Every structure is written in C-alpha cells, then in structure tokens.
Amino acid sequence: MAVDTRTPTQAAKPARRTSSVGLKILMAVTGIVLVLFLFAHMIGNLKIFVGATSFDHYAHWLRDLGAPLLPHTWFLWIQRAGLTLAVVTHIAAAVVLARRARAARPVRYAHRPKVQGSYAARTMRWGGVIILLFVIFHILDLTTGHLNPIGDREHPYANVVADFAPERWYVTLFYTLAILAVGFHLRHGIFSAVRTLGQQTVAGERVARTVALVLAVTLVAGYLSVPFAVLTGLVA
C-alpha cells in the first residue's frame, strides 16, 4: 500500500490547476510564436531597402493574404487575434510564475542578494513592460497613423521615412531603446525557452545561450537598420 508522505499542510492544499512546468512551457510556446512574428516582420521591414513600390506593395499584400480563401484583411485580423492571445497568455503565465516564486520564498529578502543571474534575466519584467508600451505607441504610429506626421495608411513607406526624419531624432532614439529592450528580453527569453523545451545538460545550456544570442543580435540589427538608414539619408 502506498504511504502518504506529505505533511498535513501539504495534503490539505488543493492541487494547483496548472503546474509551474506547464506554465513555463506555455511561456516558451507563446514566446516562440511572438519571435516568429518578429522575424517575419523584420524581413518584411527590410523590403524598405528595395524601394517605395516594393514596400507599399508588400504592406497591401499583407492585407490580402489568404485570398481568395479568406476575404480581404481576414488573415490580418486572425493574426492580430493570435498575437494578442499569445501576448496575454505570455504575460499571465509570467505573473503567476513570479507570484509563486515569491510565495515559495520563506522570508522576503532583507536586501537584494548579490548574485542574481545575468543582466538580461534581471530586466525581464521591466523590459516586458517597456516593449508593451512601445507596441501600443508603434501601432498608433505606423498602423493607425494617429501619431505619424503623414499617417497615410495607403503609403507605409512615406510614413516610415517621415517618422525617422533627422529632425525627429527623439523618435529614432525611442525606437532604438525599445528595440534594444526587445533584444535583451529575447536573449533571456529564447535561452529560457530552449532550456525549458530542450535538453537540460551543460552542453544543451551552451547551445541555448548561443542560439539566443545569435537570434537576438540578428533581430536587433535588422530592426535598427531601418530607422538608421532613414536618419542617414540612405532611405529617403
């Protein structure tokens, strides 16, 4: 007969609805969905180097993706719903995991311990908040056009060029800081996801670290190339 080795307090606790490992897998999977979007979006943005016609054509094509199977802009709205669900799930899982980690600590730290993991690991929470605020600003800027000097939805190339004009250097500065925050967030996020889903060995951890660094640097360089190309007159 199996012996219940749990203490009375442990036995009295109701079973948790989702295990912490389950939540980490949820974070990893939703994070991967967001990273896939970020790569697709970055590659699309690089079309700006081909010229206005190509970039604007690409933006229009995005709205017709899935046609004739799906009516105009349906794919875009399905993508938006999917991304929103991924972001909300990602944040909710992060909040629950952070609360559990705090509750599991027997006493609150009287002072912050010196060893706290990498810089990227320590900035996950605030990095995430900055990215969320940036995405809201970014949608009002380049999707709806409300915060853009031109804001013409039919001509995204012109919107981007007006956005990063040299006299609006503060916009480029804000984008740069936000994209660097994305880079730091991804470096730690991809590392955690690969570690959660992959082999948890020393060699596996080394692979996870390298994959995370290469992907994060590629994304940051790809995204930053656009505002700096406009700022320096390479794209006009």
Judged by the rule CB under 6 A, the positions of this chain that interact with ligand HEM are: 38, 41, 45, 59, 76, 80, 131, 135, 138-139, 142-143, 156, 160, 175, 179, 182, 223, 226-227
**Residue 45 or 123 with smaller CB distance to ligand HEM:** 45
Least distance from ligand HEM to the Cβ atom of residue 139, Å = 5
User: 116 — phi, psi (to 5°)?
Assistant: -135, 20
**Residue 138 or 168 with smaller CB distance to ligand HEM:** 138
Cα→Cα distances 23→18, 36, 97, 100, Å: 7, 20, 7, 11
Least distance from ligand HEM to the Cβ atom of residue 134, Å = 6
Least distance from ligand HEM to the Cβ atom of residue 73, Å = 10
Least distance from ligand HEM to the Cβ atom of residue 51, Å = 15
Got the DSSP string for the chain?
A: -----S-HHHHHSPPPSS-HHHHHHHHHHHHHHHHHHHHHHHHHHGGGGT-HHHHHHHHHHHHHTTTTTS-TTHHHHHHHHHHHHHHHHHHHHHHHHHHHHHHHSSS--SS--S----HHHHTHHHHHHHHHHHHHHHIIIIIS-TTSSS--TT-HHHHHHHHT-GGGHHHHHHHHHHHHHHHHHHHHHHHHHHHHHS--SHHHHHHHHHHHHHHHHHHHHHHHHHHHHHHTTS--
**Residue 124 or 207 with smaller CB distance to ligand HEM:** 124
**Residue 93 or 179 with smaller CB distance to ligand HEM:** 179
Cα→Cα distances 200→194, 203, 206, 208, Å: 9, 8, 10, 10
Least distance from ligand HEM to the Cβ atom of residue 160, Å = 5
Least distance from ligand HEM to the Cβ atom of residue 119, Å = 20
Least distance from ligand HEM to the Cβ atom of residue 135, Å = 5
**Residue 41 or 168 with smaller CB distance to ligand HEM:** 41
**Residue 3 or 136 with smaller CB distance to ligand HEM:** 136
